[in-house]
Structure 1
Amino acid sequence: MDCDCHWAADDLLLRYQYISDFFIALAYFSIPLELIYFVKKSAVFPYRWVLVQFGAFIVLCGATHLINLWTFNSHSQTVATVMTVSKVLTAVVSCATALMLVHIIPDLLSVKTRELFLKNKAAELDREMGMIRTQEETGRHVRMLTQEIRSTLDRHTILNTTLVELGKTLALEECTLWMPTRNGLELQLSHTLRQHSPAPMTVPIHHPTIKQVFSSHRAMVISPHSPVAMTRPHTGKYMAGDVVGMRVPLLHLNNFHIRDWPDPSKRPFALMVLMLPSDSARRWHVHELELVEVVAEQVAVALSHAAILEESIKARDLLMERIVALDMARREAETAVRARNNFLAVMNHEMRTPTHAITAFSSLLQETDLTPEQRSMVETIVKSGNLLGTLINDVLDLSRLEDGSLQLDIRTFNLPLLFREVLNLVKPIASVKKLSVSLHLDPDLPDFARGDDKRLFQTTLNVIGNAIKFTKEGSVALIVCLEKKEFLRDPRGPEFCVASGDDRFFLRVQVRDTGLGVNPVDIPKLFNRFSQGDSGPRDYAATGIGLAICKRFVNLMEGHIWVESQGVGKGSTVSFIVKLHAPDQLQDSVQNVSMTSATNRADFMGIKCLVVDDNMVNRMVTKGLLSRLGCDVTTVGSGREALLALSQACHTFKILFVDICMPEVDGFEVAIRVREKYPIQPERPLVVAVTANTDLATRERCFSVGMDGVLLKPFSLEKMRTMLIEILERGPVSNWS
């Protein structure tokens, strides 16, 4: 009994083991099926062969337990062999799997690490994408704000627009701008986000908060209780929002009237203060601070451009004022020039009229029988008249030289004869002072030349006249020669090089005297108007314009003039060089014919002349000279009377002497009417203009209206004879068109 009960309990135990081994085997066999399904569905799992090992291991383990089902009873040798082989294989696979896990687990751990790394990278990419989106949004706001700021170049509009746009973009409660004061020691509240004018508030520039903001180029969060943040409206809320301060560089200071900045090594700044709403949990983000920094830079640039524009406008207004002032000054100058020219024209006419009478009547007196005493008096009158005429020419020519209206009158003239005439004019004055005057002409000097003989004559006469004036005793020598390379010249003057065969040449004229001399330091003053050397006695009265005129004339003739002296009491030498042209053969022949005719012809008997002048003295002078030469002279007092006389059949005039300045019908109109009345040249009388105007424009106009010659006042009997010979030999100038 005891034995039966024992085996009954064991049998029950075996039955439970039997059932357990069956379910264990079933579970082992189901796991490989699941692994096979997992491997089939997972295409990226890198350790499939490990799963095969696990499957084999589990299958063998399951087979072992399955085989155990038959071990509960006695079993055969075959079953024992199978169980042994199965357990051996299970042991081998188990050991191999354990060894492989030693190598696989680190790889699985590294995979996990890479997975975490990739997750971190993905998170960083997400943050960067967020930053990019934030930057894009910030850039969009900056572009919009910049466009608004730069839509105007008015400083106050720029600042107001900046505050308004920042307030909208960042949802600010208040935004203020503090500008430096005139002395640069304080910041003054100048602009706020509110529309009404801010109350006058100032903060010392050395305040710690301001120094902190100015020391950095970044936007900084400052205390909401700082003086620059106390401008927010009072809302009764217990917590103030965050405040940011940002410096704004002032790139141009003139626009802000800063006189003295505390630290000259640093450029001054304005202060921009931005305040978030009160009782708000919102804080400043990085992209918002970057937006503030970018806007501050844009505002600085815009303010600089606005300041430049304001200064440009001020400069333009100042320039316009100066242009208006210059225009008024120009008009006043033109009015003054016209007044001066009118004055000179009147003075020219009024001064030359009596001089003309003196010269003409004196020349007539010289042709009569006079006692020696009378002839001496007449010669004195002639000399005085010539000197007076020279002085008048100096004054008038100097005025025209200053305004640039004087031009050279180029024509062919006898070169040696010109200097002989100069010597003949100064000899009487030199003989009174008992001075020896000599003329030395270079044998190579040409007989004729083309140039302005009047200016050359006047220059030579002025120079030799000064030499005689300032020489008490001794001699004065006039030396004329062609300029050569070996001659010494003034080192301050230009070089004159004449090519061989050229139609031009340079003429050197020297006047040497044994007079007072000049201190070398005073030589430059001699060519200034109304100025003389400081050395020497003061008993030589002079106008001080002679050498100034000479210098202008020489410059017009493309030459140079200078003075040399060893000192006071040692004499002086005045030299000048002028450019002249060689005349052609036709001009030489004309000059020779004129000179021959002047020599052979002494009178002009039977030539009928009409003198037209509104001045009675001028009519008497001209009539006297023509009558002295044998002409049949008729005089009238106006251009209208001259035209009436020409219309009468009984009057056939050969030459008309017409004054160009007459009321109503002037000399130009008379010449035009004569051309119209006598279209055929042989029947037309010759028309000679009589004028006191020496400018080239008057001479050109005379020839343009059809006149045949110009006779300048004052003129003597010899000049009248020369004019008659010239126009009678040449005839009418040309057909007038």
Structure 2
Amino acid sequence: MDYCNCIEPQWPADELLMKFQFISDFFIALAYFSIPLELIYFVKKSALFPYRWVLVQFGAFIVLCGATHLINLWTFSTHSRTVEVVITTAKVLTAAVSCATALMLVHIIPDLLSVKTRELFLKNKAAQLDHEMGLIRTQEETGRHVRMLTHEIRSTLDRHTILKTTLIELGRTLALEECALWMPTRTGLELQLSYTLHHQNPVGFTVPIHLPVINQVFSSDRAVKISPNSPVAKLRPTGGKYIPGEVVAVRVPLLHLSNFQIYDWPEHSTKCYALMILMLPSDSARHWHVHELELVQVVADQVAVALSHAAILEESMKAREMLMEQNVALDLARREAETAIRARNDFLAVMNHEMRNPMHAIIALSSLLQETELTPEQRLMVETVLKSSNLLATLINDVLDLSRLEDGSLELDLVTFNLHAVFKEVVQLIKPIASVKKLLVTLTLASDLPEHAIGDEKRLMQTILSIVGNAVKFSKEGSISIAACIAKSEPLQDAQAPYFFPVPSDTHFYLRVQVKDSGLGLNPQDIPKLFNKFVQNQSVENRNCGGTGLGLAICKRFVNLMEGQIWIESEGLGKGCTASFVVKLGIAGHSNEPDLCVEPLNRVQTNFPGLKVLLMDDNGVSRMVTKGLLMHLGCDVTVTSSTDECFQVVSPEYKVVFIEIGTSGTGVYEVARAIREKIPTRHWRPLIVALTGNINRATKDNCFRVGMKGVLLKPISLGKMRSVLSELLERGTLHES
């Protein structure tokens, strides 16, 4: 039996293949040993790599594989050619792949490390963001608590409520066991326990302000942790196993005001603080966190602001109460002053009325006496009586005008008047007196001075007449010159009014009047005193000239009412004086005032035979005197003593009715209105004229409102009554009082 040998006979070793296998085993072993080294480097650099044990196992596997190939170098034997070719091919491929893997790991591992670094960086950043978000949430929570606390604290402006609310809200928000406020005393040397959360310690307990723990807190603007055993922190009784919680203290600034007199706050300290103590619960392991300390600090600042507002409110309330008390006192003083002014005005009105009635009798009877046959001696006496009476009437007018000027009740009566006629009338009035003293009076009116103007004719004439009268009174010889012109737009020479500039316009101009005399003159230092009440030039020669010292004082006030200025110049005693004034007047035709300029009468009647006149006067003497004036002028006079009697007697046959107005003219106005209603318009209505001793704007307005044709001021002379009747019969009304 033939046996087949199936085993392929061994071929002699191929030297070339053996070399390739040997080299391949070497490189495979080299690659297998280098890869674990690279993995060890990677594991070392990747401290946070989570799969170290996998890399260790993989490295051990490769090392063992490499060791197997390395050992294969010593167990190398011959094989069949086919096996050797397969082994050689596999080993060559394995060597190539292993070396390529080792070379690629050299480049891949750094990239893997950088990825892990970025991942670690991102994780760190994420952790930081989480921490910051936590801080933000903490700050938001703190801010919310601060807003809530601030709202509660500042919802009132009472400082006691503010402090008590602060303790309650802090205790609720931070879950405190105790919270207290130590306030400085008035002396500023001690702190007093003023407010506590649970009132465990009696309020009013004090500690010295110079304790080290207090100085430590006051020297810091932040919340400070202090020892629970500090004097200011012993808010609860200790004993047994009680262990206090952590305690913090913070200062609360207190506003200082110079006149802030709060009873329990220091009076003189420029910088003072209250002390706030906050204690955590003793039965917990809580600690103070940073955001809680910040919350305490912010609340302390808010309390300081709220307390400052409360302090300001308290101060303002005190000031308001003081102001109200002052207002009450001022109102009482004002009422008393008004009562005094009314009493004075009533007194002056009564006295003026009562004085004018006898003055009316004296002047009227003296003027009637002048019309009779008199001896030269008698005529001189009558003229003296008339002169004295006129001076007394002037004094009465001055006192009344001064009273009205001082209380502001005097108003200008603006009418259109003949300006040139005013100056001419003043000259006519002053010439008789000047001729007695042999003084030459001259009048110069500028060519551009308007003939008519709008203003208070009576006050202007009174001012001019008073100044010219003074010039005549204080001049023994020489001349007196009166000059009038339009004031230029330039500053005046009055040292008391250096900024007065008379600037004319289309509706007004400034009248400048200058009165120059060659009289006794003045000391320059005495000039400012002349415009004071009851003050005259006190030189020896001037004392003999008489007067009351009211003329210039009243003139100055009249000029001021007319928006002007008055001043006097003199170079010294014996060198004469120059009195000047400037007043504002309206231009006729450029004003809303009605044109009240009245042409002069064609003629003045001397007698009025048969003129039916009705006279009503409740004063017997005044009634008799007025009747005598009218009868002397030829009038047929009927007298009555009451308004009722006057209303019964009046009829269309009476041409003129004189009605006397006393201190209260209400009934007179009613009877004047009733007379007009009683007599129909188809008949002659009497011309009603008021007789009064106290004339003002209100009286004139009331008289014209009820239909009267004029107001006549007492005293009345015969010549004045003659001109009044002439004007009434010719014009039907009186131009002036």
Query: If the length of structure 1 is used for normalisation, what is the TM-score?
Result: 0.82
- Provide the identity percentage: 64
> For each residue in 1:308-367, what CA deviation from the matched residue of structure 2 results, as whole angstroms up to 9, or x when unmatched?
222232233223223322322222222222212211110110111111111111111222
Distance 2:204 2:719 in 1: 94
CA change 1:577–1:125 in 2 (3 A) is closer
Greater shift, 79-88 or 688-697, is seen at 79-88
Distance 2:704 2:123 in 1: 108
Residue 570 (structure 1) aligned with residue 578 (structure 2): no
Q: What is the DSSP-based 3-state SS (H/G/I as helix, E as strand, rest coil) of the residue aligned with 1:218? A: coil
Which of 179, 182, 186 does residue 182 from structure 1 map onto?
186
Q: Which amino acid aligns with 2:358?
A: P
Question: Which residue of the partner structure matches residue 283 of structure 1?
Answer: 287
8 Å CA contact 1:520–1:567 kept in 2: the answer is: yes
Query: If the length of structure 2 is used for normalisation, what is the TM-score?
Result: 0.82
Question: Which residue of the partner structure matches residue 443 of structure 2?
Answer: 440
Distance 2:90 2:204 in 1: 102
Question: Which residue of the partner structure matches residue 39 of structure 2?
Answer: none
Q: Offset at 1:134?
A: 2.5
Corresponding residue pairs, total:
665
Distance 1:480 1:72 in 2: 158
Distance 1:377 1:169 in 2: 107
CA change 1:538–1:423 in 2 (3 A) is closer
CA change 1:578–1:197 in 2 (3 A) is farther
Q: Which amino acid aligns with 1:475?
A: G
Q: What is the DSSP-based 3-state SS (H/G/I as helix, E as strand, rest coil) of the residue aligned with 1:477? A: strand
Question: Which residue of the partner structure matches residue 96 of structure 1?
Answer: 100
Question: Which residue of the partner structure matches residue 727 of structure 2?
Answer: 726
CA change 1:275–1:486 in 2 (3 A) is closer
Distance 2:232 2:253 in 1: 18
Which of 505, 518, 521 does residue 517 from structure 1 map onto?
521
Q: Which amino acid aligns with 2:690?
A: A
Greater shift, 544-553 or 450-459, is seen at 450-459
Q: Which amino acid aligns with 1:562?
A: W
Residue 349 (structure 1) aligned with residue 353 (structure 2): yes
Which of 392, 398, 401 does residue 396 from structure 2 map onto?
392
Greater shift, 697-706 or 551-560, is seen at 551-560
CA change 1:375–1:248 in 2 (3 A) is same
8 Å CA contact 1:464–1:478 kept in 2: the answer is: no
Q: Offset at 1:154?
A: 0.9
1:203-214 equivalences under 5 Å are 203-214=207-218
Q: Offset at 1:243?
A: 1.2
1:58-457 equivalences under 5 Å are 75-195=79-199, 198-234=202-238, 236-253=240-257, 254=260, 256=262, 257-261=265-269, 264=270, 267-278=271-282, 280-411=284-415, 415=419, 418-419=422-423, 421-423=425-427, 425-426=429-430, 434=437, 436-442=439-445, 444=447, 450-457=454-461
Greater shift, 687-696 or 242-251, is seen at 242-251
Question: Which residue of the partner structure matches residue 466 of structure 1?
Answer: 470
> For each residue in 1:199-243, what CA deviation from the matched residue of structure 2 results, as whole angstroms up to 9, or x when unmatched?
323334333222222222221112222222122343533533211
Which of 588, 597, 601 does residue 603 from structure 2 map onto?
597
CA change 1:288–1:663 in 2 (3 A) is closer
Distance 2:415 2:137 in 1: 91
CA change 1:533–1:314 in 2 (3 A) is farther
Question: Which residue of the partner structure matches residue 668 of structure 2?
Answer: 667
Q: Offset at 1:450?
A: 4.9
CA change 1:450–1:108 in 2 (3 A) is closer
Q: What is the DSSP-based 3-state SS (H/G/I as helix, E as strand, rest coil) of the residue aligned with 1:495? A: coil
Distance 2:443 2:202 in 1: 95
Distance 1:524 1:553 in 2: 17
Q: What is the DSSP-based 3-state SS (H/G/I as helix, E as strand, rest coil) of the residue aligned with 1:188? A: strand
Distance 1:589 1:518 in 2: 39
Q: What is the DSSP-based 3-state SS (H/G/I as helix, E as strand, rest coil) of the residue aligned with 2:694? A: coil
8 Å CA contact 1:60–1:89 kept in 2: the answer is: no
Question: Alpha carbon RMSD of aligned pairs, Å?
Answer: 3.6
Distance 1:114 1:450 in 2: 102
Distance 2:510 2:665 in 1: 47
CA change 1:195–1:350 in 2 (3 A) is farther
Q: What is the DSSP-based 3-state SS (H/G/I as helix, E as strand, rest coil) of the residue aligned with 2:599? A: helix
Distance 1:191 1:320 in 2: 34
Q: What is the DSSP-based 3-state SS (H/G/I as helix, E as strand, rest coil) of the residue aligned with 1:683? A: coil
Distance 2:403 2:97 in 1: 133
Residue 545 (structure 1) aligned with residue 550 (structure 2): yes
Residue 482 (structure 1) aligned with residue 489 (structure 2): no
8 Å CA contact 1:609–1:654 kept in 2: the answer is: yes
Distance 1:315 1:662 in 2: 46
8 Å CA contact 2:489–2:504 kept in 1: the answer is: no
8 Å CA contact 2:487–2:582 kept in 1: the answer is: no
CA change 1:158–1:468 in 2 (3 A) is same
Greater shift, 236-245 or 111-120, is seen at 111-120
8 Å CA contact 1:241–1:276 kept in 2: the answer is: yes
Greater shift, 147-156 or 662-671, is seen at 662-671
Question: Which residue of the partner structure matches residue 691 of structure 2?
Answer: 690
8 Å CA contact 1:482–1:505 kept in 2: the answer is: no
CA change 1:241–1:535 in 2 (3 A) is farther
Q: What is the DSSP-based 3-state SS (H/G/I as helix, E as strand, rest coil) of the residue aligned with 2:354? A: helix
1:530-541 equivalences under 5 Å are 530-532=534-536, 539=543
Q: Which amino acid aligns with 1:691?
A: T
Which of 485, 496, 508 does residue 502 from structure 2 map onto?
496
Q: What is the DSSP-based 3-state SS (H/G/I as helix, E as strand, rest coil) of the residue aligned with 2:534? A: coil
Distance 2:632 2:420 in 1: 29
8 Å CA contact 2:417–2:598 kept in 1: the answer is: no
Q: Which amino acid aligns with 1:652?
A: E
8 Å CA contact 1:414–1:448 kept in 2: the answer is: yes
Q: Which amino acid aligns with 1:309?
A: L
Greater shift, 714-723 or 551-560, is seen at 551-560
